[in-house]
A and B are shown apart, each in its own frame.
Chain A
Amino acid sequence: GQNIDQPTEMTATEGAIVQINCTYQTSGFNGLFWYQQHAGEAPTFLSYNVLDGLEEKGRFSSFLSRSKGYSYLLLKELQMKDSASYLCAVRGTGGSYIPTFGRGTSLIVHP
C-alpha cells in the first residue's frame, strides 16, 4: 500500500515564501507529482519529480529526496491567488502507472 502525509492547512503572508512538505511510504517509487486546486475548480498540474533534487519553475520549485521519502513544494513571492489546496501524489512501482493522492494542504495567503 501507499501512505502519503501532508499538513492539512498552512497560512502565509503575501510576498513571503512558504514550503509545503509531503512524506510518503510506497511500494517502490516511480515519480511524485504536485497539483494546485482552487476551490471549486479542477486540480492543475504543477510539477513532476522522479530524480533527487530541485526542479524550479518560476515562483514554484519542487524538491525530492527518494531515500527519505520526502518532497516539498516551495512557493516564492506569494500572491493572494496562490491561496488554494496543494495535492501531493506518488506513483509506486509494480506495474501501476496510477498515482495515489494525499489529502492536500490548504494554503491561505493573507495580506
Chain B
Amino acid sequence: ETGVTQTPRHLVMGMTNKKSLKCEQHLGHNAMYWYKQSAKKPLELMFVYSLEERVENNSVPSRFSPECPNSSHLFLHLHTLQPEDSALYLCASSQTGTGENTIYFGEGSWLTVV
C-alpha cells in the first residue's frame, strides 16, 4: 500500500464519454503530478500542481483537464478521448523545497479507450 492512492484502478470508456481519475496523497506533500505511461515510452509528465501553481506539458491535448482542489487531492478529467490515449496514468506527489524532492507514485489507473 502506497501513500498515494488512485481510483479507479481500471477504466474502460468510449470516445464520447466523460470520466475522471482521482488521486489522494497521505504524505503531507506540497506538489502533485499526473504522468502518462505508454508501452515502450518514457514516463511523460502531463501536469504538476505545486503550492497552488499549475505547470503543464504543452503537448498534452485539451481533452485532458486537471483539477487540484487542495494539496492532498488531484483529479484528471477526461473528455472525448482517442484510442491512442489508452495508457497507464500515474499520480505522484513530492515535497518541493527540500534537497531531494523524491517523487512518490500511486499504483496507477489503467485507461482503455474504445
Contact = CB atoms under 8 A, between A and B. Distances in A.
A97 B33 CA distance: 12
Interface in B9-36: 31, 33
B60 interface: no
Interface in A61-95: 87, 89, 91
Contacts, number: 50
The secondary-structure label for the interface of chain A is loop
Contact of B42 (A31, A33, A45, A101): A101
Interface residues of B, number: 25
Give the interface size class of chain A.
20 to 34
Interface string B33-76: 10000001111010010100001000000000000000000000
A104 B88 CA distance: 15
A50 B98 CA distance: 13
B16 to A, nearest CB: 28
A103 B42 contact: yes
B2 interface: yes
